[in-house]
């Protein structure tokens, strides 16, 4: 990639994971080098845990006037490996672009599903973040991987923006980014396209919608699979369960259901993985397990 054309980035994260901050850091680092850059998020009604997008544009020498979202990115960054199976992250990705993925899986494992006419870069940012920051928040760690894979911004240029933003927590974040830079593995483009995720949500056309914003089908938003937001899932060990139902009553989703045998279980289509049921269960029946593991 070179800086003579506008390089466009699309970040895939979840609300609360800091994708917007990542994009900001990239833009500030580019500006620090005298380049022109922009960073902005894409807002929907979605909340913490829901898939979100953020964008960057970077150019060496020309101010960037376009303000729309990025649909044909040169660079796609995936902060959360759980998104790979629910969102077509490769949509619109340009030939010879870069797909940067955070995953505990190795490059050779991921190649089968995610190699295409683009460079594929992989790093286990979650592991690095846990080690350096003590939390699995990967937005700054992934900056190192992105800088390495894209090659138009220097790693050192991130230091200033990270210091400015994170204050006392900057040194560990800078270390994490450096480690990711060193550990990122990259495979070159291949000719074949990988299999793509089918996105299921079906929206009615305008001809099918009533005037006046009237909605006539109660509970129709049940089609939303909010389970896709989850980074931890519930695991029930019924040997200790006394069927008290406290998990059921305290669930903000209303997604814990009673089975005919009286035990409760959470509906994975909706469960966002907040962990309330696990905390409130008096018999410690429920544990929260990391999705990716």
Partner 1 sequence: MNTTVTVTKRLVNSFEQLAPGHRACLGCGEALAVRLVGKALGQNVIIVSATGCMEIISSQYPFTSWEVPWIHTLFENASAVASGIEAGIRALSRKGEFNEKTKVVAMGGDGATSDIGLQALSGALERRHNFIYICYDNEAYMNTGVQRSSATPYGASTTTSPASKITIGQTTWKKNMPAIVAAHDVPYVATACASYPFDLMSKVQKAMNVDGPSYIHILSVCPTGWRSSTESVIGLGRLAVRTGIFPLYEIEDGRYKLNMQMDKLHPVEEYLKQQGRFRHLSPEVIASIQTRVNADYAKLKEKATRS
Please report, as ranges, the residues that interact with partner 1 according to CB under 8 A: 15-16, 45-50, 203-204, 209, 213, 215, 217-226, 229-230, 243-246, 248-255, 258, 267, 269-270, 272-276, 278-280, 288
- Quick one: 72 or 220, whose CB is closer to partner 1? 220
- Quick one: 105 or 248, whose CB is closer to partner 1? 248
Going by their DSSP bridges, the two strands 75-78 and 98-102 should be labelled as: parallel
What's 107's DSSP letter? H
- In angstroms, what is the minimal distance from the CB of 204 to partner 1? 6
**In Å, how far from its chain's centre is CA 78?**
5
Angstrom CA distances, 271 to 50, 204, 279, stand at 12, 26, 15
65, with CB counted inside 10 A (0-12, 13-18, 19+), is exposed
- In angstroms, what is the minimal distance from the CB of 248 to partner 1? 6
CA distance 197 to 23: 25
CA distance 71 to 92: 6
- In angstroms, what is the minimal distance from the CB of 280 to partner 1? 5
- Quick one: 182 or 237, whose CB is closer to partner 1? 237
- In angstroms, what is the minimal distance from the CB of 288 to partner 1? 8
- In angstroms, what is the minimal distance from the CB of 42 to partner 1? 15
- In angstroms, what is the minimal distance from the CB of 274 to partner 1? 3
Q: Using an 8 Å Cβ cutoff, are 155 and 181 in contact?
A: yes
- In angstroms, what is the minimal distance from the CB of 21 to partner 1? 15
CA distance 270 to 288: 15
- Quick one: 20 or 142, whose CB is closer to partner 1? 20
Within 13 Å of residue 14, how many CA atoms lie on the same side as its CB? 19
Sign of CA dihedral 122, 126, 127, 132: positive
C-alpha closest to that of 48 among 17, 11, 79, 22: 17
- Quick one: 238 or 248, whose CB is closer to partner 1? 248
CA distance 75 to 201: 25
- Quick one: 196 or 222, whose CB is closer to partner 1? 222
- What tokens does 283 get? 């018999």
C-alpha closest to that of 267 among 259, 258, 256: 256
- Quick one: 34 or 219, whose CB is closer to partner 1? 219
- Quick one: 196 or 259, whose CB is closer to partner 1? 259
- In angstroms, what is the minimal distance from the CB of 86 to partner 1? 15
C-alpha closest to that of 97 among 35, 189, 13, 19: 189
């Amino acid at each position: 990639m070179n800086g003579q054309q506008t390089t466009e980035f699309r970040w895939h994260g979840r609300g609360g994971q800091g994708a917007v901050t990542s994009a900001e850091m990239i833009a500030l680092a580019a500006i620090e080098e005298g380049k022109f850059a922009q960073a902005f998020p894409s807002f929907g009604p979605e909340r913490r845990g829901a898939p979100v997008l953020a964008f960057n544009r970077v150019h060496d020498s020309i101010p960037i006037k376009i303000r729309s979202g990025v649909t044909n990115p040169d660079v796609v960054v995936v902060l959360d490996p759980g998104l790979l199976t629910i969102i077509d992250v490769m949509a619109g990705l340009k030939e010879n672009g870069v797909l940067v993925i955070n995953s505990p899986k190795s490059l050779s494992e991921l190649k089968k599903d995610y190699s295409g006419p683009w460079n594929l870069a992989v790093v286990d940012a979650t592991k690095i973040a846990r080690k350096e920051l003590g939390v699995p928040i990967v937005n700054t760690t992934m900056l190192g991987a992105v800088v390495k894979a894209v090659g138009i911004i220097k790693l050192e240029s991130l230091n200033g923006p990270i210091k400015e933003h994170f204050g006392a927590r900057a040194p560990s974040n800078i270390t994490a980014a450096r480690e990711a830079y060193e550990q990122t593995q990259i495979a070159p483009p291949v000719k074949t396209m990988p299999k793509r995720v089918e996105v299921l949500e079906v929206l009615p056309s305008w001809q099918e919608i009533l005037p006046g914003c009237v909605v006539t089908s109660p509970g129709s938003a049940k089609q939303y699979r909010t389970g896709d937001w989850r980074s931890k899932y519930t695991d029930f060990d019924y040997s200790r369960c006394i069927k008290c139902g406290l998990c059921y009553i305290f669930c903000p989703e209303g997604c814990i259901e009673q089975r005919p045998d009286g035990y409760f279980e959470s509906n994975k289509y909706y469960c966002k993985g907040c962990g309330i049921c696990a905390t409130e269960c008096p018999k410690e029946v429920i544990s929260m397990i990391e999705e990716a593991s």
